[in-house]
Amino acid sequence: MSAASELIQRVEGNGGQFRVDDGWLVIAPGEAAMPVIEELRKHKAAIIGVLESRNSPPHDPAEWREPFARWLDSVCVRDPRCWGGVGCLHIAFCEWAVAQNDVPCNRFTFECLLRELGFLLDEVAGVVLVSGLTFREDLESAGLRPTGVARTI
């Protein structure tokens, strides 16, 4: 068995779950990886290769609809004057999910969830933006009042 496969088994044996997102190796909960963190860094490329060779099916957005809606309501606002960076929003959602002892979704699934709610996504100068959604904190720090709160039904 390869070192990468052994490391994957050790982390999964500690209750960890892996996913690969835009070249990043994501492990949740993070504590499951702590005993072997240095070895994981050393064998990252091989681990990603093993995980990608598993040919796991794409994430089903249904698994994340409810937590996504809670996160959206807690930290975001809908406002037609705003554009939010999808990458930043996705990272914030992932961090929130991990803090809730949940496994975050990948970027593709995150974008699917946004589109399901009617948000438009577009790329500007290499950055993917979502129309009409931003962090509540960012809007308030700019001295703007939201025209509508992000709510999902």
Tens of pLDDT, residues 139-150: 777 776 665 544
- 145 versus 120: which is more confidently predicted? 120
Q: Which H/E stretch holds residue 148?
A: strand 148-149
Q: Domains of the chain: which residue ranges?
A: 3-53, 61-149
Q: Does the domain at residues 61-149 carry the CATH identifier 3.40.1190.20?
A: no
**CB neighbour list of residue 17: distance below 8 Å, 6 or more residues apart:** 27, 28, 32, 103
pLDDT per residue over 27-81, tens digit each? 888 888 899 999 998 988 888 877 776 655 556 788 889 999 999 999 998 888 8
Q: What pLDDT was estimated at residue 46?
A: 82
Binned at pLDDT 50, 70 and 90, residue 21 comes out as confident
